[in-house]
Amino acid sequence: MNDAAAVGSPRPPRPFLTHFVVDGVVAAGLLFVTVIILGGSWQQVVVLAVVAGLVAAPFTRRLEARQLAERAARHAAPHDEPAGPA
């Protein structure tokens, strides 16, 4: 990635839908083995993953926005000069 593109205002976080889909897929992966071992069906995995994705998406989107702002601030701050011999 080009560091020059990161300088200045941060890019906006990815859309809510993107966070929902990614969080849902991660939840499905985590839930699949547990639900199947407990005797559940794949439909239960899908329902639980959708609910988990809806719950987690606002938090992960806010986290991404905060991290993007911190990265932009870190790149915009002046770098300290290394101390040389006196």
Q: What is the pLDDT of residues 21-52, one digit of tens each?
A: 999 999 999 999 888 889 999 999 999 999 99
| Contact assessment for residue 7 and residue 72, using Cβ atoms and an 8 Å cutoff | yes
Instruction: Compute the mean pLDDT over every residue in the chain, rounded to the nearest whole number.
Output: 85
**Cα(86)–Cα(72) distance, integer angstroms:** 33
Number of structural domains (the chain) is: 1
Answer whether residue 44 is part of any domain.
yes
Percent over 90 (pLDDT), the chain: 62
Answer whether residue 79 is part of any domain.
no
Answer whether residue 16 is part of any domain.
yes
Q: Is the pLDDT of residue 1 over 80?
A: no
Answer whether residue 21 is part of any domain.
yes
Domain of residue 64, residue span: 12-71
Answer whether residue 56 is part of any domain.
yes
Residue 25 in tokens: 């897929």
